[in-house]
Structure 1
Amino acid sequence: MANLPYNVILDTLPATGSRLEVLFRQAGDGFLQVEYGREQRANLQDSFRIQVINELILSKNLLGLIETVPGIRTNLFHFDPEVLSVLQLIDTIKAAEESVKSIEDIVVESRLIHLPIAFEDSETKKAVAKYVKEVRPGAPNVINGYNLEYIAMCNGVTVEEIKKMLLGTDWYNSGGGFWPGGGFFWPMDPRCAIVVPKYNPPRTWTPEGTVGIGGPCVFTYTTPTGGGYQLFGRTIPTFQFSQKHPLFKDSPFLYRSADRIRFHEVTEQEILHIYEHVHDKTDYQYQIEEGQIPVKDYLEFYNSEEVQRGAREFQARQKEGTKQAPRL
């Protein structure tokens, strides 16, 4: 018995027409990770399904279930094993999975948050300058004192095209993580699927509200911290520890899983004005719309010939850009 290999996969569900194989992985005494498929992939339809299954599980108010952490293709269940057995939890998740017959039947509750952004603002430029001075002089991702030209180079496009892509799609939050209050935001339009390597090594300082991209994900920095995403601008507060502003009364975090953010460009002065009216005067009105993502409609958009042709053309430009961009 001592020589038998240790297997973290406790159970599985077979793949169906609209769902990958479901793996139930032991992740510690009080943690279970549910994962779609054995191969890494980033596909929003996996996240849409995870969000709906997650809501079904939470609606049951299982005694012993502490919290869940949904992601792009996984969900981590934190539970008290003295109250809720892992086998009981797996059976409950299986029943929820079997109740969702087709991905096209899913409708995801999803707020749309409109966020102003100032590109190439002075505060994030200070962070880049500090990095070059104190961490990596001559960093190849810093061109003319910033990261936007490197982002454009990696993707085979111009800086103006990068800005249009950032403004031209909604960014979907697959779940919180990395830093308190943060979210992992993915482009809903594949024609805007920018990809870029992270800083090497990371920065020691990043201002609150900084917006950057690492790999395929956009991130808005909730507090001053280190970080490794390539920077392109600054947005308004998305976290407030003091919870003084009415929006943060019930939670210091702005984002929820499955939220979408849509950027619109403003001046740096407008961003600074909003900071004052969020943290000091607390009278700024965030623009948030309740909404849904009917997955059938989204898939029709995503799979349309126009969108797929544009995505292929962009991917070809990315491939050439990657060859030209310096390695980090």
Structure 2
Amino acid sequence: MTIRYTFGGDEFIFVEIDEAMSLDAFFKGTAITRELQRRAVPGVTEICPANASYQVRFDPDVIAPDALLAVLKDIEATLGDAELDMATRIIEVPVLYNDPWTHETLMRFRERHQDPASTDLEYAARINGLDDVDAFIAAHSGSPWFVSMVGFVAGLPFMFQMVERERQLQVPKYLRPRTDTPKLTVGHGGCFGCIYSVRGAGGYQMFGVTPAPIFDPAQRLDYLRDFMVFFRPGDIVKFKPIDRAAYDAAIAAVEAGTFSLRVRPVNFELSAFTRDPDAYNRSLVEVLDAD
């Protein structure tokens, strides 16, 4: 894995860990950016981790570009091939799959889809070699997902499925983006899942909706009190299918300000996960169930 450094204007360094997204590349970038944050380097104003890369903004009047580059290369050398682990959170996110709102939306935009005769879920199930929609939902919700970056719009998490590469669900984006996507849609494009934090344009396939707000400037709910954006890189998400009654009850709790998410601290070890992903995923989910 050869890391490539590129200057962007006078205030940015872009660092590409790898050309392909992988958990190794993600963890390497996360470890470097966390160490950079820990060092509190004078002149560094923003650190933005991404899927297999990161970007640093700096004040050239405080730290010279070459000096910051030297710091980043020192962190890279210091970390080396050390065991990569991370103190993080596992979060259970309820999802109403095959809901009426994304269904109404996707039907309005069928001319922009690869298969106008199928719904997004039917299309996703077929091209992934699964028998039907229920089998696809089981595959989508059956294993955890890593939040690899947050952005594009405020609070939107990009998520990478925690299974072997050959088992990862993959679905292309729409041929042309929609001009509308319901708020809190659970979507998928390429190998990445996401949750649309706000209503707006989008091109990812739509599978369902969650009742759980993930971006709220008013910070009304307990899990948003510390920051209006809930997700952060390194979070682990476990989707939980729910029915319409449970969804409606959750929406009522959101409106009353009493809704909460199940969030538990975990320590993720990349080497242990790599040895046996399925067993390791089960151990992560057990943390959620250990109330």
* Structure 1 portions without partners, runs of 5+: 1-19, 305-328
Mapped to 2, the partners of 1:269 and 1:302 lie a distance apart of 33
Whole-Å separation in 2 of the counterparts to 1:142 and 1:260: 33
- Could you tell me how far 1:303 is from its partner in structure 2? 11
Aligned to 2:104: 126
Residue 9 of structure 2 is matched in structure 1 by: 28
SS in 1 for 2:179: strand
Q: Counterparts of 1:248-263 in structure 2 under 5 Å?
A: 248-263=224-239
Correspondence 1:294-305 to 2 at 5 A: 294-302=269-277
Partner of 2:282: none
Can you give the 5+ residue segments of structure 2 that lack an aligned partner in the other structure?
280-291
Q: CA deviation at 1:154?
A: 1.6
2:216 aligned with 1:240:
yes
RMSD of aligned residue pairs (Cα, Å): 1.8
* Whole-Å separation in 2 of the counterparts to 1:227 and 1:23: 30
Q: TM-score, normalised by structure 2?
A: 0.89
Mapping of 1:246-325 within 5 angstroms? 246-278=222-254, 280-302=255-277
How far did 1:110 drift? 2.1
Aligned to 1:169: 143
Tell which structure's C-alpha radius of gyration is larger: 1
Q: Is the partner of 1:257 in helix, strand or coil? A: coil
Give, in whole Å, the separation in 1 of the partners of 2:60 and 2:266: 36
How far residue 241 of structure 1 moved from its aligned partner, in angstroms, is 2.3
Query: Which string of whole-angstrom CA distances, capped at 9 and with x for unpartnered residues, describes residues 166-196 of structure 1?
Result: 1111100111122210111011112640111
Distance in 1 (alpha carbons) for counterparts of 2:145 and 2:7: 31
Match of 2:130 in 1: 157
* Residue among 57, 75, 92 paired with 1:114: 92
Deviations 1:280-312, CA, capped at 9 Å, x for gaps: 2111121001112111101212599xxxxxxxx
Q: Which amino acid aligns with 1:232?
A: F
Query: 1: distance between equivalents of 2:141 and 2:129?
Result: 18
Give runs of aligned pairs for residues 50-69 of structure 1, distance below 5 A. Answer: 50-69=29-48
Residue 81 of structure 2 is matched in structure 1 by 102
The corresponding residue for 1:76 is 55
* CA distance in 2 between partners of 1:75 and 1:267 (Å): 38
Q: Would the aligned equivalents of 1:184 and 1:217 in 2 still touch at CA under 8 Å?
A: yes
Find the counterpart in structure 2 of residue 316 from structure 1: none
CA distance in 1, matches of 2:30, 2:114: 39
Distance, in Å, in 1 between the alignment partners of 2:184 and 2:116 is 20
Residue 288 (structure 2) aligns with: none
Q: Is the 8 A contact 1:168 1:192 kept in 2?
A: no
Given that 1:142 and 1:150 are in contact with CA atoms closer than 8 Å, whether structure 2 keeps it comes out as: no
Q: Summarize deviations over 1:65-121 as a string: whole Å, max 9, x none.
A: 111111121111111122222111111111111111324x12112210101111110
Letter in structure 2 aligned against 1:25: T
Amino acid aligned to 1:30: E
8 A Cα contact 2:17 2:28, kept in partner:
no
**What's 1:214 paired with?**
189
Q: What secondary structure does 1:289 align onto?
A: strand
Structure 1 residues 219 and 141, CA, compared in 2 at 3 Å: closer, same or farther? farther
CA contact (8 A) 2:170 2:191 kept: yes
**Aligned partner of residue 49 in structure 1, secondary structure:** helix
Distance 1:60 1:267, change over 3 A: same
Distance 1:121 1:74, change over 3 A: same
SS at match of 1:111: strand
Q: Contact 1:29–1:81 (CA<8 Å) still a contact in 2?
A: yes
Q: Is the 8 A contact 2:173 2:190 kept in 1?
A: yes
Among the aligned pairs, what percent are the same residue? 25
Q: Does the aligned pair in 1 maintain the 2:221–2:260 contact within 8 Å?
A: no
- Kept in 1: contact 2:114–2:175 (CA 8 A): no
